[in-house]
Amino acid sequence: MQEDIKSFVAKSIERVHFSWKRVCIVVGVLVGFVSIGVGATLVYSSQYEERVLPGVHIGNISVGGMNREELTQFIQTMQNKLVDGGIRVTFSINDEKKNFVIYPSVVSDENARELVRINIPQEVEYFLSYNKDTNFFARGWAMILTNASQPHLRLTTVSLDKGAIQTEIDQNVSSYITSAKNASVIVSSVSPLVYEVASSTIGVAFSYEDMFGRIQSLWSSFETPEIVINTHAQEPDIRESDVQQIIKRLPVVIQHDGLSVTYSNPVTREDFVWNISSESIANWLEVQKDTDGTYGFGLQKDNVLAFLQQKINSQVNQDARDAKFAIANNGKVSEFQGSRAGIAVDEDIMYSAINTAILQRTWHDQGIVKTVALVTKQTEPQVKTGEVNNLGIREILGVGHSKFNGSPTNRIKNIRHAVVDKLNGMLIKPGEEFSMIKAVGPFDSATSSGYVTELVIKGDRIVPELGGGLCQVGTTMFRAAMNSGLSITQRRNHSLVVPYYNDLSNGNPGTDATIYDPSPDLRFVNDTGNYILIATEMNTKTFDLYFTLWGTSDGRKGYYTPPKVLKWIPTGPEQIIETTDIPVGSLQCQDRHVGAEASFTYIIEKPTGEKIERVFDSYYRPLPKICLKGVVALSTSNTSSSTPECTGDACPAAAASN
């Protein structure tokens, strides 16, 4: 019995000794891990507080260990390479491969309209802060785990101008697109009725499935986008068999002495009648499919709209007219104009009414419509006559100033047209958001807009474009709105440093505002509670442009600090691009633009003493001098001549081209 007890006690002691050994091992391991964590944290604190964690990649490129300046320069360099490489597009027509390149920027004397944009400061902040916890010990483990996992990340702020990209693609493939053609009836004579049925044909169309997503994905990984667009057959909606179902109704549709459109002017009470002849109906005829699947003879929309625009609109349409007044130097109203409502033909409703009247002739013998009443839509003026004596135009709220010296003739013409013909005397209603593009537009043609053309560079082509110089107007208005203490709702700086828009206080870039139809725009809200009058002054002798905003002050003050250039960015070597689009031996050049990072603060002091501050940061992309050289035939490679560039904070902005 004693032996058993001794044996039990010995084994128990042996087990106790074994357990303590395990505890020591566990404690040792924990101490080791803590030591590693502390060591890693110390390494992090000393080396990676202001650097990207090791192992981090953008796409397949490692950026681990880069500091803020290195990462900014790296992202900008990769962006420039992608811009130079362009978006490569491939498609096939009849088993033959075609390809073209979309260059993601459109450069003019004052605009660099980028089709693909990266918010570089935001990307830098994202990668510098990636996987960094505020907990002291967690930081070390995050560094170890990140280095071990080697994460391949993407940029987070890549944005596309989808409309512009689609337009560029459409321009390149438009000659290969053939629309499906519906079966139709061709009438060669109304009396007697002679016609033939035209056969339908299959068309060719392009598919753009996930095109924008692929461009954005590849760009976000610093990979040159290579896009393949596919073709597919486009089936016609109307076939010969469909036409045969209704062909016997053709005489009923044609032979009713046409169709009349009537209108009575509500102000003058003058009556108008416009006739659509049977011959016109026969020429505009097309077979249409109704929502219930039945077929009928209708009219081509383009022809009906052309009839309305050419025959009717000029006699009916009139713009809404605001009551307005101009303030002379003595503060008195010097001009008066009575308000009137705007009237315009409602073209969509009118097409539907005319088309329905013809369609009904296919389906019915009774109740044939021979007359359609004109339908108009009305717009009220923004300022009515009864309001002109109580608008609250009392004092100067703020003044914006810029200089346009050095501008060529066409640029000055465009500025004058916008300033004198568009903006001077314009009233902004209380609560209204002012849009510069809306105020100085339209830009659809030289005839309707009043603007003249200036040259811009698109890829490797120099082409004319309307309205060069209008950013002078946007910049001046931006400064006037800030000096008036108004709420800025939309503003974007130019993509390039352009001396026309450097701030007059110190000659630095930063207080400019670019406009380009349809975007970007300059917008601000009239939150004064009263009307604001825009008064402009353009002095072509001293090249001064002033915008004065008049209204009723609520005691607020608006101003902005002189802009600071945080960094000048060199342009790189001059580029010479061979082209066959200009005369052989000629040279057309776009001057260089040194890049910059600039910043200023906009301050509003409320009458209550509240101060609102808003920082405007601007990034200006560097652009080397680009020259197009006319040649007989393109060589296998285009070489660029190199010119030395200035570096450092003292680097001045380059002169703008015309």
Where is 36: in which H helix or E strand? helix 2-47
C-alpha to C-alpha distance for 503 and 616, rounded to whole angstroms? 14
Residues 410-450 pLDDT 10s: 989 999 999 988 888 888 999 999 999 999 988 877 666 78
C-alpha to C-alpha distance for 110 and 475, rounded to whole angstroms? 12
C-alpha to C-alpha distance for 137 and 141, rounded to whole angstroms? 7
The pLDDT score that the predictor gives to residue 378 is 92
Residues 6+ apart with CB under 8 A from 255: 190, 191, 193, 278
CA distances from 192 to 187, 243, 563 (A): 10, 20, 79
C-alpha to C-alpha distance for 83 and 78, rounded to whole angstroms? 9
The pLDDT score that the predictor gives to residue 526 is 97
Domain 67-123+154-237 fold: Ubiquitin-like (UB roll) (3.10.20)
The pLDDT score that the predictor gives to residue 232 is 83
Which ranges constitute the DSSP H helices of 276-432? 278-284, 301-307, 313-316, 347-363, 409-416
C-alpha to C-alpha distance for 220 and 75, rounded to whole angstroms? 11
Phi, psi at 585, each rounded to 5°:
90, -15
| CA 588 to the chain's CA centroid | 27
Cis peptide upstream of residue 442 (ω within 30 degrees of 0): yes
With 0-12 / 13-18 / 19 or more C-beta atoms within 10 angstroms meaning exposed / middle / buried, residue 560 is buried
C-alpha to C-alpha distance for 167 and 484, rounded to whole angstroms? 39
Model confidence, pTM: 0.47
C-alpha to C-alpha distance for 211 and 225, rounded to whole angstroms? 10
Where is 79: in which H helix or E strand? helix 68-85
Q: For the sheet containing 461-466, what is the strand order? A: 112-114, 105-107, 453-458, 461-466
Residues 150-174 pLDDT 10s: 999 999 999 888 888 888 888 888 8
What end-to-end distance do the CA atoms of the chain give, in Å? 114
CA distances from 190 to 187, 253, 254, 255, 301 (A): 7, 11, 7, 8, 21
C-alpha to C-alpha distance for 139 and 152, rounded to whole angstroms? 19
User: Would you say 457 and 591 are in contact if contact means Cβ atoms under 8 Å apart?
Assistant: no
- β-pair partners for 326: none
DSSP string, 287-333: EEE-TTS-EEEEE-HHHHHHHIIIIIHHHH-B--B--B--B-TTS-B
C-alpha to C-alpha distance for 260 and 190, rounded to whole angstroms? 18
Q: Is 158 helix (H, G, I), strand (E, B) or coil?
A: coil
Helix pair angle (120-129, 68-85), 10° resolution? 130
Stretch(es) of the chain classified as CATH 3.10.20: 67-123+154-237, 244-385
CATH of domain 244-385: 3.10.20
Which ranges constitute the DSSP H helices of 114-223? 120-129, 136-149, 162-173, 211-220
C-alpha to C-alpha distance for 209 and 193, rounded to whole angstroms? 47
Query: What does the angle CA 481 – CA 593 – CA 219 come to, to the nearest 5 degrees?
Result: 90
Q: Is 657 helix (H, G, I), strand (E, B) or coil?
A: coil
The pLDDT score that the predictor gives to residue 333 is 38
C-alpha to C-alpha distance for 547 and 654, rounded to whole angstroms? 27
Residues 6+ apart with CB under 8 A from 394: 550, 551, 552, 553
C-alpha to C-alpha distance for 305 and 349, rounded to whole angstroms? 11
Phi, psi at 640, each rounded to 5°:
-110, 135
348: left (phi over 0), alpha (psi -120 to 50) or beta: alpha
Long-range contacts of 358-362 (CB under 8 A, 24+ apart): 358/253, 358/259, 358/281, 358/297, 358/298, 358/299, 359/288, 359/290, 359/296, 359/297, 359/298, 361/249, 361/252, 361/253, 361/256, 361/297, 362/246, 362/249, 362/252, 362/253, 362/295, 362/296, 362/297
User: Would you say 559 and 580 are in contact if contact means Cβ atoms under 8 Å apart?
Assistant: no
Cis peptide upstream of residue 251 (ω within 30 degrees of 0): no
Residues 6+ apart with CB under 8 A from 525: 431, 432, 433, 434, 486, 487, 489
Helix pair angle (211-220, 162-173), 10° resolution? 120
Q: Which residues of the chain have pLDDT under 50?
A: 16, 18, 106-110, 330-333, 336, 338, 386, 455-462, 639-658
Residues 330-365 pLDDT 10s: 443 356 354 578 999 999 999 999 999 999 999 988
